[in-house]
Each structure stands twice: as C-alpha cells, then as structure tokens.
Amino acid sequence: MSRVLITGSAQGLGLLAGRQLIAADHEVVLHARNHTRARAASAAAPGASGVVVGDVAAIEQTRQVAEQANAFGRFDALIHNAGVGLEPQRVETVDGLARVFAVNVLAPYLLTALIDRPGRLVFLSSGMHLGGELDLDDLQWTRRRWNPSRAYAESKLLDVTLAFALARRWPEVPSNAVDPGWVPTRMGGPYASDDLDLGAQTQVWLATGDDPGATRTGRYLYHRRPYAAHPAASDPAVQDRLLAICADLTGRPMP
C-alpha cells in the first residue's frame, strides 16, 4: 500500500485519481482550497485518509498545506494536479504574482520543497506546453501584453521543466510529467474529446505502479507512453534558472 497526496483533488482528474487509488487499497490524502470544498471532497471519496486545506495561489497557504501534509508522514508519491486554465485577463495573487504561474508552477515547487521528500513525483502538464515560449525574465507578465493561451502554455512548459529538473537533482526519486489529454473536466469543458477515466490512469500508474515503465524518471507521458517534450525543459541552464527564480520568490531553496 502506498500513501499518496493529490493536490487539487476536490473534483475533476484529481478526485478521479484519488478514487482509483482508494479502490486499489492505497492511502490517499486529498487537497482542497477551502473547507467547503474539503467537505465535498471527503463526501465524494469517502475512503480518503484526510484532506489538506489551503489555496495554493498564496505562498503562505501553500506552506500551511505542506505542514498539514507532513503531519500524515512521508508520502510514497505526490501528484501535482492543482491548476488553473486559460484566464482572459492577468489575475494577481496576494503575493503580487500572476495566478496562472502561482498555482501551476510556484505551488508545486514550494510544496515539493517543503514536504518530506516523497518517493515519486508526478506533474500534470498539457500538450499545449509544446507551444510554450519561455520568457524567464517576465514570468509574471508585467512587461508582456497578457496572452491567455501563451501564459497557460508557458506554465505547463514550466511544469515539465520542474519535473525534469527534479529528476536530475534527485535521481533516486522518479519524477515525470503527464499530459492527461483534453478531457471533459471543468477546465477542459464539455466538448473535450479525450477519455476522462484514461486521463487519470497514467498518474495513478506513475504513483504506485511496480513495473519498470512506472519507475523510470525524467519523462513526459500521455496514456503511459513517453513522448518528446519541449526541448527547453531538458536544458539544465533553464532548469537551474527556474529553480533559482522559485527559490527567490518563496525564500525556500529546493533541497
């Protein structure tokens, strides 16, 4: 039995992955951004061991989520599922950051840095990351004109970069990025054409699978199959710069 933490698991892919893991007799800790959603998550996945609560758009609340998570003990796997999609306008967080960056990139960085080092890491990305164009000098979009699609694609490219950076930094911890496909969640919308159930299975497999395919590291996968990621994600200089930026913003270097 594995102990797995899933961020953003009050609904959608995160909740579905949690249910699949619970059905396979794993210990699952869910996450919700407030207590109302936490109660709904507990009702939707009654076999969960608990729910950690906090809005990961805020640095201080992400720290609180990490403290709650550490109270459960070390996790065998951490699935970074929480995310926001295309935002028509730049939304600024309480920390003065672009929300799409704060939730999709900085929160998984900080949570990973603060919790007891998990046995495996899974980062949710998107096929849109392949169209990402990195501007490491303006990740908060204060100088660029806001572009919803490009900002989202950039954040998903940064997720793959984080996964690959940690695969290089912690070779003993399998760290991979996943494209769940265009699935009919609240973010994906009702016209999404990919299979929702399949969209969660790769995360579950990477978090708990015993076969060699599940325990390899530094890959970008879609439905359990590896695909070529954006080349910037494999650049050590880009990885190190991203880690340094996140460390500076949070005051917490990655161990």
Mean pLDDT in residue range 23-47: 97
Domains of the chain with bracketed CATH: 3-250 (3.40.50.720)
Q: Tell me which of 152, 191, 220, 227 is the catalytic residue.
A: 152
Q: What letter does residue 143 receive in the DSSP assignment?
A: S
For 121-173, what is each residue's pLDDT tens digit?
999 999 999 999 999 999 999 999 999 999 999 999 999 999 999 999 999 99
Element (H, E) at 222: strand 220-222
CB 110 within 8 A of CB 246: yes
Determine the residue type at 221: L
Q: What letter does residue 163 receive in the DSSP assignment?
A: H
Q: Round to whole Å and give the CA distance between 41 and 65.
A: 16
Active site residue 156: yes
pLDDT at 192: 45
Element (H, E) at 167: helix 148-169
22 Cβ contact partners less than 8 Å away, ≥ 6 residues apart: 28, 45, 47, 48
pLDDT at 187: 56
**In terms of pLDDT, which residue wins out, 199 or 146?**
146
116 closest CA partner among 79, 73, 82, 77: 73
Element (H, E) at 41: helix 35-44
Q: What band does 194 get if pLDDT is binned at 50, 70 and 90?
A: low
Q: Tell me which of 156, 191, 222, 227 is the catalytic residue.
A: 156
**In terms of pLDDT, which residue wins out, 185 or 102?**
102
Please say if the pLDDT value at position 183 is more than 50: no
C-alpha distances out from residue 201 to 59, 237, 247, Å: 30, 32, 32
pLDDT at 191: 46
For 37-51, what is each residue's pLDDT tens digit?
999 999 999 999 999
Q: Round to whole Å and give the CA distance between 121 and 80.
A: 8
Asked whether the CA dihedral 216, 107, 194, 90 is positive or negative, the reply is negative
Tokens representing 14?
Answer: 């995160």
pLDDT at 198: 77
